[in-house]
Amino acid sequence: MTRSSRPGNKSAESVVTLKFLAEYLNLSPATVSLVINKSPSAKSIPDKTKARVLRAAEKFDYRPNFYARHLSKKRTFTIGVVVPEISEGYAALVMSGIEDRLLQDGYFYFVVSHRGRQDLIEEYPRMLMDRAVEGLILVNTPLHRVITVPTVAVSPHGHLKGVTAITLDNHKGGWLALEHLAKLGHKRIAFFKGQPGSADTESRWLGVCEAAAKFGIEIRPELTVQLQGKSRHPEPSTPEEGFLHAAKLLETGERFTALLAFNDMSAIGAIRAFCDAGYNIPQHISVVGFDDVQTAAYQNPRLTTVRQPLRRMGEAAALSLLERIANADVRPREILVTPELIVRESTSAPATDEPGSPTVLASREALAEK
């Protein structure tokens, strides 16, 4: 039924084994192994013999059985990557960075996506360790069990002993976004906060609050909405969510001239909702996102956002994981990555806030007027 039960299968993998090669060459498997691995203890073997072995290996296209090798050597050159969701831009970009480094060093990786399910978040790392991964990279994943292999977390949720963290300076990111709006002259700003319980969210929000304090801007609860507030764990963020929340925000009738969104996806959804309601961006409402996803620069209007260098973060994760694998003494540490404000077209100074001016009064009238 399975391949394994069809022995006549000449063409399949590793028909040609070390032993076969040895017999063909009239040498012992040991010798062949030593030569092929260029082992230092093969130094007593004359070059002529070495060449003979290598030629035979070539001829028969000998490929060592990876699994057998592991059994003796205890190395798998494999690591595990745990992400919330592959199809999401965030994880995909980080993975892309991870992959670069990993493949360069001869490592392969397994990917698992847990979609926020806590049971899978606990289960998958175990399964990966069963497969003898030499390390783990957790992307934006709230894992609280302790891991016994070197681990690196990208955007960690909380702190785990012994885990290297690659963290965006969210505090600064939040600050930058708010500063930008403040300097443009916005006073009444609406906010999309991230899901609670993640370090990202907390620290980004702190940055926003501190900047708000500094620039004398009030953070109004009625203008602050929590994304992904329902489930304890993050669904991938979608434009839909931003769309819905933005529409609700308009319905409350509260006035605001700008929206500071937790990420680009929700910003994109929000812009859609604002436009549908008849507002112009940025004339009526400025919107700033977070992440700088691939399409941000091609939105209409182009999205002002805080760039997160996700690919570089992935690379950094892979790099420091490999370091830790190669050298057990390397201490886990915190790597802080700096965000960058990218000003595009979705933000501008607010319309002057005088009676009769076109400052936004979001309300059913406004909607109806359209």
Which residues make up the interface to its own copies (CB under 8 A)?
Answer: 1-4, 6, 11-14, 63-68, 70-71, 73-76, 85-89, 92-93, 95-96, 99, 103, 108-113, 127, 129-132, 134, 148-149, 238-239, 243, 265, 268-269, 271-272, 275, 294-295, 297-302, 311, 325-328
φ, ψ (nearest 5 deg) of residue 78: -135, 135
Within 13 A of 244's CA, how many CA atoms are on the CB side? Answer: 8
SS3 content of the chain, % helix, strand, coil (to 5): 45, 15, 45
| Residue-by-residue DSSP string for 171-220 | HHHHHHHHHHHHHHT--SEEEEE--TT-HHHHHHHHHHHHHHHHTT----
Closest CB 11 distance from its own copies, rounded Å: 5
Q: Does 39 bind DNA (CB under 7 A)?
A: yes
Residues whose CB is less than 8 angstroms from the CB of residue 55 and which lie 6 or more positions away in sequence, other chains included: none
Q: Does 73 bind DNA (CB under 7 A)?
A: yes
Residues whose CB is less than 8 angstroms from the CB of residue 101 and which lie 6 or more positions away in sequence, other chains included: 314, 315, 318, 319, 322
In the list its own copies, DNA, none, the entry touching 59 (Cβ below 5 to 8 angstroms by class) is none
Q: Does 127 bind DNA (CB under 7 A)?
A: no
Q: Of the ranges 25-33, 78-86, 222-230, 346-354, which one interacts with DNA (CB under 7 A)?
A: 25-33
Q: Does 348 bind DNA (CB under 7 A)?
A: no
- Cα–Cα distance, 48 to 40 (Å, whole number): 17
Q: Does 158 bind DNA (CB under 7 A)?
A: no
Q: Does 148 bind DNA (CB under 7 A)?
A: no
Closest CB 343 distance from DNA, rounded Å: 56
For DNA, the closer of residues 19 and 159 by Cβ is: 19
In the list DNA, its own copies, none, the entry touching 272 (Cβ below 5 to 8 angstroms by class) is its own copies
Q: Does 56 bind DNA (CB under 7 A)?
A: no
- Cα–Cα distance, 205 to 199 (Å, whole number): 10
Alpha helices in 117-169 (DSSP H): 118-130
Closest CB 2 distance from DNA, rounded Å: 11
What SS3 class is residue 264?
helix
Q: Give the containing element (helix H, strand E) for 23.
A: helix 18-25
- Cα–Cα distance, 170 to 188 (Å, whole number): 22
Which of 71, 216, 221, 331 touches DNA by CB under 7 A? 71
Q: Of the ranges 11-19, 98-106, 208-216, 275-283, which one interacts with DNA (CB under 7 A)?
A: 11-19
For its own copies, the closer of residues 147 and 217 by Cβ is: 147
Q: Does 341 bind DNA (CB under 7 A)?
A: no
Q: Is the peptide bond before 84 cis (omega within 30 degrees of 0)?
A: no
Bridge partners of 254, per DSSP, are none
For DNA, the closer of residues 49 and 238 by Cβ is: 49
Instruction: Provide the CA 244 distance to its chain's centre, in angstroms.
Output: 25
Q: Of the ranges 39-47, 221-229, 302-310, 353-361, which one interacts with DNA (CB under 7 A)?
A: 39-47
Closest CB 328 distance from DNA, rounded Å: 18
Closest CB 37 distance from DNA, rounded Å: 5
For its own copies, the closer of residues 45 and 275 by Cβ is: 275
Q: Does 140 bind DNA (CB under 7 A)?
A: no
Q: Of the ranges 46-54, 150-158, 176-184, 284-292, which one interacts with DNA (CB under 7 A)?
A: 46-54
Residues whose CB is less than 8 angstroms from the CB of residue 49 and which lie 6 or more positions away in sequence, other chains included: 27, 31, 35
Q: Give the containing element (helix H, strand E) for 138.
A: strand 135-139
| Nearest C-alpha neighbor of 233 from the set 112, 94, 114, 95 | 114
Q: Does 133 bind DNA (CB under 7 A)?
A: no
Q: Does 29 bind DNA (CB under 7 A)?
A: yes
Q: Which residues bind DNA (CB under 7 A)?
A: 14, 17-19, 26-31, 33-34, 36-37, 39, 41, 44-46, 48-49, 62, 64-65, 68-69, 71-73
